[in-house]
Chain A
Amino acid sequence: GESVGLHLPTLSVQEGDNSIINCAYSNSASDYFIWYKQESGKGPQFIIDIRSNMDKRQGQRVTVLLNKTVKHLSLQIAATQPGDSAVYFCAENSGGSNYKLTFGKGTLLTVNP
């Protein structure tokens, strides 16, 4: 089965609200975790990543939290905008220096104006 999974397949929020997308992983040896955004008809676009020796990393309007104890990853999007509507994937690097990524199934985020 999938080693990386998502708790919620869909998420609908109001414009301006904060969004939280969750992800579970099972490979304790994974050393990098990445969140990607994928808009319809396009390839995945890097959002933010975090190394396994970190608990939190912030970017512009996005924050990734890593809880290694329960093997959980989350993406927080502040002040969600209509342009944030997309499918969000978490991925883990379990391939060491070869960086072979294992992806979760994705969460569809819909932002209502």
Chain B
Amino acid sequence: NAGVTQTPKFQVLKTGQSMTLQCAQDMNHNSMYWYRQDPGMGLRLIYYSASEGTTDKGEVPNGYNVSRLNKREFSLRLESAAPSQTSVYFCASRIWGRHTLEGYTFGSGTRLTVV
């Protein structure tokens, strides 16, 4: 039971390049989320998927697209990377029906640098 797994852990891109960040969870969670974390700031929500087959924008969606491939996997795509997208990206997942958020689990992050 690995929890939330993100790949890659580190990535350097040139401006204009594209890439996809992968996230998979093995906890049979329903909802999945993508956040970014910039220095001196808390995490900010990019996109989320409340359930398989649905996706919605969060606070900072511009420049990103997402795909909820199946219940386990939720990918984040940068079509044309910009230096402003240099950040640490965290994927999270959550199961429905819980009365607390203790089950809201984060991955270990992908550190992305755009030069």
Say whether A and B bind each other: yes
Residues of A within 8 A of B (CB): 2, 4, 32, 34, 41-46, 49, 51, 89, 91, 93, 98-106
The yes or no answer to B1 lying at the interface (CB within 8 A) is no
Interface majority SS on A: helix, strand, loop or mixed?
Answer: strand
On chain B, the residues within 8 Å of A43 by CB distance are 4, 90, 92, 106-109
Please pick, from A42, A49, A102, the residue contacting B102 in the complex, using a CB distance under 8 A.
Answer: A49
Which residues in B have some Cβ–Cβ distance to A below 8 Å? 4, 31, 33, 35, 40-45, 48, 50, 56, 58-59, 90, 92, 94, 99-102, 104-109
Among the listed B41, B44, B100, B106, which residue makes an inter-chain contact with A44, where contact means beta carbons less than 8 Å apart?
B106
Asked if residues A49 and B40 are in contact (CB atoms below 8 Å), the reply is no
**Shortest CB–CB separation between residue B109 and chain A, in angstroms?**
5
Cα distance A106–B94 in the bound complex, in angstroms: 22
In the bound complex, CA of A36 to CA of B59 (Å): 20
